[in-house]
Amino acid sequence: MRKLSAVPEPQIIFNPKIYRCRRASGTSEWTGRLDQDFWQTAEWTEDFVDIEGDHRPLPAKRTRVKMLWDDQYFYIGAELEENEIWANQTERDSVIFQDNDFEIFIDPDGDTHQYYEFEINALNTVWDLLLVKPYRDEGPAVNGWDISGLRTAVYVDGELNNPEASNRVWSVEIALPWRILQECAAEKRPPLPGEYWRVNFSRVEWEVDVIDGQYVKRCDPATGKPLPEDNWVWSPQGVVNMHYPELWGYVVFEDEEQAESESVEHAPQIAADAPNGLPSELETEQIKWDLRVLYYKQRLYAQTHQYYCTSIEELLQIGELKLRSNDIEQWNIEATSSMFQISALLTDAESRICIREDGWVWREQAAK
């Protein structure tokens, strides 16, 4: 029998970032520059923070992103302040984060399974892969998966791989075709106006020294190995691991009318009294988080006992994270020695949100 293991609890308050993605107008020149007219209608995201959130200092270099969409593409533009612009990886699908890089993570249906990862360096070398489920849940990465029709461009304000250059920033433009991204969407289609996908961005930053006119990763004198990289992100994870899709941000796709009015049917609203500023309609997202907290606790319990707990009350005493809801009667738990399913009844009493031992989340009709 395989050993049941724990999943680290993220040390963070559940408060993912939210971005309203406007429709694109016109076309980009594909230079990698974000000062083109094409990008002017898009708002910047908040500046990136450390992946652990408030537990760590703010990044020393600014990173921010713009997003747009149309019927063919999801457009992403990223600006990375940098006085040390370097890259070595030149082969597609090589391990790009061995260089300083920019990364995109997309979970179209928000179930934390079947999601995408994309990485790019200052040489415009890319790595695109599909995750069947997170590594913590023993999910494989499909490295042979490619984004057919991908468009990318990189702009360097300075000089690549030259420590003597006056370097300021590098920026990227990326167009991800919906006909590929829709593969993992709930209804195998692009988003409709007012719908949202779970998205996050990361920047990997290595400490370097200049040796013989070249950038060289700084090493720990005790081990001779490179010092750990910094991970700066849009929506913080509370743990040094990007593969916690439940903590990624919300990208809400708007059309022209929604950009001018927040009264459009199906358009998630940002309510002042909504928990954490989440769209007020997203009751299921709060419930998903409570289910995720119980998932973390089950994994901690199983590491000690080598079987899963059958009592919600007992689970609540484990770990540091707390549930948002105190209504234990709405929760149901079923468990064997190697599997579990926890579900919560929605307020309409007609459907439930469920989670199981490998972290998959889904919605189903409630039993009559």
pLDDT tens-digit map of 220-243: 999 999 999 999 999 999 999 999
**Confidence label for 365 from pLDDT (cuts 50, 70 and 90):** confident
CB atoms within 10 A of CB 286: 18
Residue 190 main-chain phi, psi, to 5 deg: -65, 165
> Looking at the predicted structure, is the pLDDT value of residue 268 above 70?
no
DSSP annotation of 95: -
Structure-model confidence comparison of residues 324 and 272, the more confident one: 324
**Mean pLDDT over residues 232-258, rounded?**
93
**Confidence label for 5 from pLDDT (cuts 50, 70 and 90):** confident
From 51, 61, 65, select the one nearest 11 (Cα to Cα): 51
CA atoms of 299 and 247, how far apart (whole Å): 18
Do β-strands 351-356 and 230-233 pair in parallel, antiparallel, or remain unpaired?
unpaired
Query: Helix or strand or coil: residue 259?
Result: helix
**Confidence label for 278 from pLDDT (cuts 50, 70 and 90):** very low
| Non-local CB neighbours of 243 within 8 Å, separated by 6+ positions | 131, 134, 135, 136
Instruction: Pull the structure tokens for residue 302.
Output: 């199983």
**Confidence label for 329 from pLDDT (cuts 50, 70 and 90):** low
DSSP annotation of 240: S
**Mean pLDDT over residues 59-72, rounded?**
98
What is the predicted pLDDT for the residue at 286?
87
From 199, 203, 160, 180, select the one nearest 49 (Cα to Cα): 203
Length of the chain (residues): 368
Count of alpha carbons within 13 angstroms of residue 365, beta-carbon side? 2
CA atoms of 182 and 335, how far apart (whole Å): 34
Instruction: Quote the strand ranges of the chain, DSSP E.
Output: 18-23, 49-50, 63-69, 73-81, 101-107, 115-120, 126-131, 141-142, 151-157, 169-177, 196-205, 208-211, 214-217, 230-233, 249-253, 331-335, 340-345, 351-356, 361-365
**Mean pLDDT over residues 244-269, rounded?**
70
> Looking at the predicted structure, is the pLDDT value of residue 275 above 90?
no
DSSP annotation of 299: H
Structure-model confidence comparison of residues 326 and 144, the more confident one: 144
Pure H helices in the chain: 178-181, 256-260, 283-305, 312-315
**Confidence label for 14 from pLDDT (cuts 50, 70 and 90):** very high
**Confidence label for 274 from pLDDT (cuts 50, 70 and 90):** very low
Task: Write the pLDDT tens digit of every residue in 138-172.
Answer: 999 999 999 999 999 999 999 999 999 999 999 99
Task: Write the pLDDT tens digit of every residue in 280-315.
Answer: 456 788 889 999 999 999 999 999 999 999 999 999
What is the predicted pLDDT for the residue at 266?
39
**Mean pLDDT over residues 186-213, rounded?**
96
From 240, 241, 330, 323, select the one nearest 289 (Cα to Cα): 323
Q: Are 208 and 217 in contact (CB under 8 A)?
A: yes
CA atoms of 147 and 317, how far apart (whole Å): 44
Q: Are 109 and 183 in contact (CB under 8 A)?
A: no
Give the burial class of 2: count Cβ atoms within 10 A of its Cβ; 0-12 exposed, 13-18 middle, 19 or more buried.
exposed
> Looking at the predicted structure, is the pLDDT value of residue 1 above 70?
no
What is the predicted pLDDT for the residue at 180?
98
> Looking at the predicted structure, is the pLDDT value of residue 272 above 60?
no
Residue 288 main-chain phi, psi, to 5 deg: -55, -40
**Confidence label for 323 from pLDDT (cuts 50, 70 and 90):** confident
Do β-strands 169-177 and 214-217 pair in parallel, antiparallel, or remain unpaired?
unpaired
**Mean pLDDT over residues 8-33, rounded?**
95
Mean pLDDT of the chain: 91
Task: Write the pLDDT tens digit of every residue in 69-128.
Answer: 999 999 999 999 999 999 999 999 999 999 999 999 999 999 999 999 999 999 999 999
Percent of the chain's residues with pLDDT above 90: 80
Structure-model confidence comparison of residues 367 and 255, the more confident one: 255
* Pick from 101-110, 274-283, 350-359: least confident: 274-283
What is the predicted pLDDT for the residue at 4?
83
CA atoms of 221 and 227, how far apart (whole Å): 9
Do β-strands 249-253 and 230-233 pair in parallel, antiparallel, or remain unpaired?
unpaired
